[in-house]
Chain A
Amino acid sequence: MAQRRMLMKGTEAIAEAAIRAGCHHFFGYPITPQNEIPEYMSRRLPQVGGVYLQAESEVAAINMLCGAGAAGVRVMTSSSSPGVALMSEGASYMVGGELPAVIVNIMRGGPGLGDIQPSQGDYDQMTRGFGHGDKHFIVLAPSTVQEAVDMMALAFDLADEYRNPCVVLGDGLIGQMMEPVTFPEPSERTFDRSWAATGKKPGQRRNILRSLFLDPEVLEKHVEKLFEKFKVMELKEQRYEAWMMDDAPPVVISAYGTTARIAKSAIRELRAEGHRVGLFRPISAWPFPVDGLATYVEQTRLFLGIEMSMGQMVEDVRRVVAGRRPVQFWGRTGGMVPTVEEIVAQVKERSAALGQ
Chain B
Amino acid sequence: MDSCLNSHIVICNWNDKGDTIIKELHSNVHRNKKPIVIITRDPQSVPSSTEEEYQKVFIISGDPSDEKILRRASLDTADSAIVLSDFERGEYADAYSIIIALAIETINSDVHTVVELQKSRNKIHFKNSHVDEIICVEEITEKLVAQSAISHGISSIYLHLLSATLDTNEIYIIPVPRHFCGLSFRGAMKRVLSDKAEFILIGYMSGGQIYINPAKDESGHELKEGDRLITIAYSCPEFEKKG
Partners in one complex: no
Query: B residues bordering A, Cβ < 8 Å?
Result: none
Query: A residues bordering B, Cβ < 8 Å?
Result: none
